[in-house]
């Protein structure tokens, strides 16, 4: 097979399209571009943040405070951050706002029909 300028150009365009498709699928600001100085491809890493929920309802669906200290720059690190956030659970408070415990995945919270003064009261 003979390499011509036209076939080389088609090959390079196809590679660029594949790289762009991958960057688009990653999201998080991932991008592929060409450095005009040395005509080599450059990759901008994605940046993923896990946002904490808030006590106040938020129309956007979550809070604005970041759970992670630094954005994850890979899907694996982003999933680890999300896993850590979910597994830390959420606080259960009484009517006065005093913390009563933490609920983590796999646990449940009993529902009391009357005033609950102790844990797991049955009716």
Radius of gyration of the chain (CA): 25
Spatial contact of 101 and 92, defined as CB atoms under 8 Å apart: yes
Residues 6 or more apart in contact with residue 53 via CB below 8 angstroms: 62, 63, 90
pLDDT tens-digit readout, 74-98: 888 888 888 888 888 888 888 888 8
Band (pLDDT 50/70/90 cuts) for residue 121 is: very low
pLDDT tens-digit readout, 24-36: 888 888 888 877 7
Across 4-18, 48-62, 90-104, the highest mean pLDDT is recorded for 90-104
pLDDT at 122: 46
SS3 40: strand
Give the rounded distance of the alpha carbon of 90 from its chain centre: 18
SS3 94: coil
Give the rounded distance of the alpha carbon of 112 from its chain centre: 35
Which alpha helices (H) appear in 27-110, and where do they start and end? 75-87
- The counts of H helices and E strands in the chain are 2, 4
């Amino acid at each position: 097979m003979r390499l011509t300028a036209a076939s080389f150009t088609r090959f390079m365009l196809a590679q660029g399209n594949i790289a762009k498709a991958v960057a688009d699928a990653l999201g998080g600001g991932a991008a592929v571009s060409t450095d005009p100085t040395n005509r080599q491809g450059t990759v901008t890493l994605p940046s993923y943040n896990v946002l904490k929920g808030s006590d106040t309802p938020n129309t956007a669906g979550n809070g604005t405070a970041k759970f992670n200290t630094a954005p994850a720059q890979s899907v694996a690190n982003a999933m680890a951050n999300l896993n850590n956030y979910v597994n830390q659970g959420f606080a259960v408070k009484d009517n006065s706002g005093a913390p009563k415990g933490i609920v983590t995945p796999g646990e449940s919270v009993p529902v009391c029909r009357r005033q609950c003064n102790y844990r797991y009261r049955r009716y």
